[in-house]
Each structure stands twice: as C-alpha cells, then as structure tokens.
Amino acid sequence: MNIMIIGGGGREHAILRAIKKNSQVETVYMLPGNGGMAEEAVCTGIGATDLDGIIAFAKENPVDYAVVAPDDPLVMGCVDRLNEIGIPCFGPRANAAIIEGSKAFSKDLMKKYQIPTAAYEIFQDLDAALNYLDTAPIPTVVKADGLALGKGVIIAMTREEAKRAVTEMMADHKFGKSGSTVVIEEFLEGPEVSVLSFTDGKVVKPMVSSMDHKRAKDNDKGLNTGGMGTVAPNPYYTDAIAAEFMETIFLPTIRAMEAEGRPFCGCLYFGLMLTKDGPKVIEYNCRFGDPETQVVLPLLESDLLTIMQATTNGTLEETEVKFSPRNACCVITASAGYPEAYQKGYPIVMTEEAKAHTYVAGAKISDGVLVTNGGRVTGTTAVADTLSEAIKEAYRLADGVKFENSYRRSDIGQRALKA
C-alpha cells in the first residue's frame, strides 16, 4: 500500500513512524514533510494547504490511502476533495471539521446538546461586544471564532485587556476573517486534560490521555506556544473520570454531530478542564494534537493504519485500540525566542540514539545538511514504566539533539509528577 500524509511537523513524523510499522505499507509520501524525515519517506514539498497541488499529486501517483493531519486543510475540505477522486482518507470532511474551524459553531453545538462547557456569548458587532464587556465577569476569555494558529485565545485579567483583544480581532482584523466573529466566555480553572479519540462517526474509542505544556517558560510562565512538551497518561484522568467523560462528553458529541448531519470520522481531540463544578470542554480539535501525538502514538500497541481505515470504513466497533500501560514524555527543543522572533538555519546534530527517539518538525536540508527552519525544531520522546523514569530518559535523549541557540523547558512532566 502507498500512503500519503498531509502535513510536515513532529505530529506527522510520529504518524509516519507508527504507520510504517504495518508491513503492508510500501511508500509513504509526505506533503510537504521536512528534511528530518527524508530518510523515512518521500518528502514532496507540496504545501499542506495547497489543495490543488495535493489533488494533482494524488492523481499522478499510486496513492491508496491518505491521512490529513493539520487543521487548515481539514477545514478547507481536503478530505472532501480527495474523496471526490476516489481516495479514502483519515480525517473529517469540512462539514465536520467545523467543530474546530468555528468556535461559535462548537459552543452552540454544546449548548444545544447539553455538553458541559464554559458559559459564553457570541458577537459579530464590535460595539455590542464592548458593551457586554462593561459588565462581564472578570477575568474573561476572548476567542477568535476561526483558526488563528493557536493565538486566537486571550485570557483577559482586566476589562481593558478584554476590550483591547476584541478590538484587535474585530476592528484591526489581527486574525483576518477568523476574528470577525468572537466568542467571549467564562474563565474556568482546574487541571487540563487532553484526550484524543478515534471515531468512525458512531463509535468513539479514546486514546491514552495526555498533558500539554503550552507556555514557553518553566513553571508555566511566558507566552502561549503550540506546546513545549507532553506526558501521557495524564494523572488527573482517572478511570472514574474517563467513564464519566464517555457518558457526558465523548458520546454526546459524536451523537450530536451525527444528528446535525455532520458525522465526524477521524481523530477528535477533546481539550478538557476538571473544574470544581465538574468537567467542561475547553475546545475541540478536528485532528491529532501536536505534541500530544508524540506521546500518545508511541504508547499505541494496536496497528495505527488498521484503526485509521476502520474510522473510514465504519468498522471501529470491531477494531482493537489498545494502549500500553507505560508512561511517555516528549520534550520539545525549540529555537531560542520562539514563539516570538528567532534565528534559523543552524545545523542540527543528533546522536543515533537520540535520532531514533526524535520527531523532527522545524527543519530542512540545506546543502546536504539538516538545519533548523522553525520555532519548534524537534520533539524527543521516551517511554518507561514510570512517569519519573520517562521524564529523566526523555531529557537524557534530548541532550543528544544539538544546535546553536536551542531552548527547551526543563520542567516537562513536573506538574504531572506532583498530581
């Protein structure tokens, strides 16, 4: 079988390695892929949002199955387009990817189907939003409706800050069309849990839970990033909580999407918060999380490609989804300065041992040398019997990844250890 994976980051590298464990897989094409995976797959350089380029490539090459990993192509209808030319895909169609593509849609869905989430108001008019903020409870959370590279969520500690965020989104078009509608919602507190799940539109099978570390600096200081490291499982996510979430959140969401005529097939990511008033949904993503995938897939004992195909064929019920009871930790090595300005083009040197445990994200080959080419450069994952061993081992392995001006948090997993 020949597989095509749309995307080119650490998440896609982890998917690539898991898919290649299936002995039926011959060639894997990455669109675009990156220099760090060039020894393991055919990296085409075709951009993940270049839908015409993707379709042309799929017509010209023998592709049996496609995995669409990032949010943008999913929301743009990449799966719909590939299905039209007869290629089965892992991932939701555009009418279901909207669960991430529009926060207003997902909030209204949760309200309609009584899925617990933060109280909210939706605004399309700047003055109405500003008026509302005169009396809204503070702190408050301002969210751009559409995709905004993970930067469209502002936790405002003051009224002024909230008004500035709304003005930047709605009047200054900081996130383009994504911010012409905003959601203003209740500020929630509590431990966060990420649960990725496989679903064929009817059956939902959660993966092992995980914990992201979104802030750039130690002790959750600094700016929000795409994620500086992850651990799995998440110690806050007990069996009792898992059973409760299945009844109050996971199944109701899958059924709601089906009832709306938008069956969701692929990976549905639940961003959850355990508040003192019970569990609430913070967000849905229509895809694997990054870097959650770099700890979740190394713990998957069943065959990933078989599960993916089951989500496409509607046979997830009878397909095994089994995870190891061990622990995983992923440490991101980033370019110093990320998520703000940073230098790139520095040669990356990895020991053979580190390389085998490292997923490459922001890198390219330049004059035959692998060099840095992004904010998050690599993710190094270790699996061990205990969380503390996994953390220690992930840092030991990450020390085998070297480039100038590199930066990593030193406390990935510490919050989980104290839980």
Would you tell me which residues interact with ligand AMP (CB under 6 A)?
Answer: 118, 141, 150, 153, 155, 185-188, 192, 214, 271, 282-283
Q: Which of residues 269-298 bind ligand GLY (CB under 6 A)?
A: 285, 289-290, 292
> Which residue, 56, 52, 2, is CA-closest to 30?
2
Q: Which of residues 216-235 bind ligand GLY (CB under 6 A)?
A: 226-227
The distance of closest approach from Cβ of residue 218 to ligand AMP in the complex, given in angstroms and rounded to an integer, is 17
Rg over alpha carbons for the chain, rounded to the nearest Å, is 21
Question: Distance between CA atoms of 293 and 304, rounded to whole angstroms?
Answer: 12
Q: Which is nearer to ligand AMP, 142 or 354 (CB)?
A: 142
User: Quick one: what does residue 50 bind among ligand GLY, ligand AMP, none, with the CB cut-off 5 to 8 Å set by partner type?
Assistant: none
User: Quick one: what does residue 393 bind among ligand AMP, ligand GLY, none, with the CB cut-off 5 to 8 Å set by partner type?
Assistant: none
Q: Are strands 42-43 and 28-32 parallel, antiparallel or unpaired?
A: parallel
Q: Which amino acid is at 326?
A: R
Q: Token match 């190891």: residue?
A: 324
The distance of closest approach from Cβ of residue 78 to ligand GLY in the complex, given in angstroms and rounded to an integer, is 18
Site string for ligand GLY, 199-218 (x = CB under 6 A): -------------x------
The distance of closest approach from Cβ of residue 178 to ligand AMP in the complex, given in angstroms and rounded to an integer, is 12
Q: Which is nearer to ligand GLY, 63 or 291 (CB)?
A: 291
Q: Which is nearer to ligand AMP, 88 or 191 (CB)?
A: 191
Q: Which is nearer to ligand GLY, 117 or 285 (CB)?
A: 285
> Which residue, 212, 270, 283, is CA-closest to 241?
270
The distance of closest approach from Cβ of residue 141 to ligand AMP in the complex, given in angstroms and rounded to an integer, is 4
List, in sequence order, every residue forming a beta bridge with 281; answer none if it has no partner: 117, 272
The answer to whether 93 touches 79, Cβ cutoff 8 Å, is: yes
The distance of closest approach from Cβ of residue 47 to ligand GLY in the complex, given in angstroms and rounded to an integer, is 19
- Return left, alpha or beta for 191; rule: phi > 0 is left, psi -120 to 50 is alpha, else beta: beta
Asked if omega into 339 is within 30° of 0 (cis), the reply is: yes
The answer to whether 56 touches 45, Cβ cutoff 8 Å, is: no
Neighbours of 354 (CB within 10 A): 19
- Return left, alpha or beta for 89; rule: phi > 0 is left, psi -120 to 50 is alpha, else beta: beta
The distance of closest approach from Cβ of residue 215 to ligand GLY in the complex, given in angstroms and rounded to an integer, is 12
> How many CA atoms lie within 13 Å of 3's alpha carbon, on the beta-carbon side?
30
User: Quick one: what does residue 185 bind among ligand AMP, ligand GLY, none, with the CB cut-off 5 to 8 Å set by partner type?
Assistant: ligand AMP
The distance of closest approach from Cβ of residue 143 to ligand AMP in the complex, given in angstroms and rounded to an integer, is 6
Q: Which is nearer to ligand GLY, 51 or 296 (CB)?
A: 296
Binding footprint of ligand GLY on the chain (CB under 6 A):
212, 226-227, 285, 289-290, 292
